[in-house]
Amino acid sequence: MTDSLSHHELASKMLYHQPLLECIAEQQKAVDDAREHRSKEPAYEVLSQMGYMQCRAGNYLKGLEYLLEANDSLKKITNPDSTRTEGAVMLLGNLSNLYTRLALYDEAKEKNTEAINLCKTINRSRIADLLRMRAIIYEHENMLDSANFYYDEALAECANIENENHRRNHTIVNENSRAYFYIEHPDYAPDSIRNAVDALERNLDKYPHSYSTNLLLSGRGHVLLGNTDKGLQQMEKAVELYRNERGDEDLEFGLRMLAISYATAGSHKLNKLYPEVTALHDSIMNRQKANALLGKDFQYRTIELNNEIELMHSKLQTTRQHIIYIITICVLLISSTIIFLFFRRKQQKQLLQQKEQSINMLIADRISLNAQIDKLNSELSQRSTDDTPQTLVNPLLLEKDNEIRFRKIFYELHPGFVEKLRDDFPNLTAGNELLCMLIKLRKSNDDIALALGISRESVATARYRLRTWFKLPKDVDLNEFIQNR
């Protein structure tokens, strides 16, 4: 770290200019400082930036963990005046965008609303961006009327930005976004396509980051308007820029738009482009399926965690009521005993001893119940702070009911297979057994990954470990070895 910049500030300057892994390594130092309370920046800003970097690197689960930790840190701030609006809004915006990618649209809109409300009370300069993000959420849900409404709202909000340069830049970005919307959904408002093309060409050189997309979609607009030659030339140029400047998802989008336009024009170039479009599209779709699976798993885990916490709260409340009831009984009993002993002390020695024994038992019960309260409090605290997901998704077949059903059917299909496997390799885990069972069923790596809720890379790693445990020579195929047992 330099004398003037913190690790967080240095990582921010490196972003977009240095390799992403180097930025993440520098930001990790900032995270360590924040967790040890050595950072001059708020913890939520540091954690939010790490979450954003992890998402850019494709590590969406890690990104989600950091963003949720940042959100928890933000919620702990008791004095709203101490909140740095820019950092808080970026956190909520990043979390909303990630939820959108994971198809968790309700959660995305909730965080987007929080960010908008925060801007309304402190600083309105980011509201236009947030309204545009809300439009994108609705566009992902295919709720085009709502998307169109918020694109218009975002553009109108730009007029309220005081700084002239910021107002100009936000206006350009939101004009572009609305134009993209009309061209990507040409049947929604066909009369708006001409104005959309004009807006994109007017802004072509005003915002360098959007140049290639403006070129691509204005070209697509020309094709839709019948100016096919000009449109295709622009789109071909834009796709080449995408190859050099953008990632796979953007390139797939550009190639898909170009392929659709070739098909519309009846161009023979479609035959050459089609294999590349198909291969890249399949790759992106697999990635989107994995993201959707991650989102559903996160949603399931959240519901389960909330149910468990609610159940523990209920148990705690019930136990507290029992304690109050017993304390009340003890107080009443002690009071009655004292009064009774006051009048009949000499005559009722034996009864006194019995009552003292009863009191001791009641107190012992109270001590026992208090111990239960402490245990429940400890479990609740542990659940609330330490139960953070540590893997991409829990194996779906390892959930109790599903595993029982799966194993029952498998045993009927392949009697003796698992027993022989256990005899020969006693150190195999339940997860290893499930992998072997799926291989025995001749499932592909893709099928295994979906069945177990893990990535293909994790399947490959698990298969490698099986080869090691089975001590297979290099020329022996793992599938054949298992299927021939």
Predicted confidence (pLDDT) per residue in 218-268, tens digit: 999 999 999 999 999 999 999 899 888 766 777 878 888 888 888 888 888
- Residue 426: pLDDT over 80: yes
* Residue 137 banded pLDDT, cuts 50, 70, 90: very high
From 127, 92, 132, select the one nearest 110 (Cα to Cα): 92
* Residue 344 banded pLDDT, cuts 50, 70, 90: low
Residue that wins the pLDDT comparison between 298 and 32: 32
- Residue 367: pLDDT over 50: no
Per-residue tokens: 331: 């107080």
pLDDT value of residue 449: 80
d(CA 131, CA 146): 11
Residue that wins the pLDDT comparison between 313 and 254: 254
∠ CA 198-203-209, rounded to 5°: 135
* Residue 24 banded pLDDT, cuts 50, 70, 90: very high
What are the respective helix, strand and coil percentages of the chain, to the nearest 5?
Answer: 80, 0, 20
Q: Average pLDDT, whole number, for the chain? A: 79
pLDDT value of residue 60: 81
Q: Which of 33-37, 77-81, 118-122, 317-321 is the most confident on average?
A: 33-37
- Residue 356: pLDDT over 70: no
Phi and psi of 174, rounded to 5°? Answer: -75, -35
- What are the distances in angstroms from CA 52 to CA 7, 93, 464? 16, 10, 32
Residue that wins the pLDDT comparison between 340 and 8: 8
pTM value surpassing 0.75: no
Answer left, alpha or beta for residue 58, where phi above 0 means left and psi between -120 and 50 means alpha: left
- Residue 1: pLDDT over 70: no
pLDDT value of residue 297: 54
pLDDT value of residue 363: 33
Q: Please tell me what DSSP assigns to residue 2.
A: -
Contact (CB, 8 A) for 433 and 421: yes
pLDDT value of residue 113: 93
Residue that wins the pLDDT comparison between 193 and 437: 193
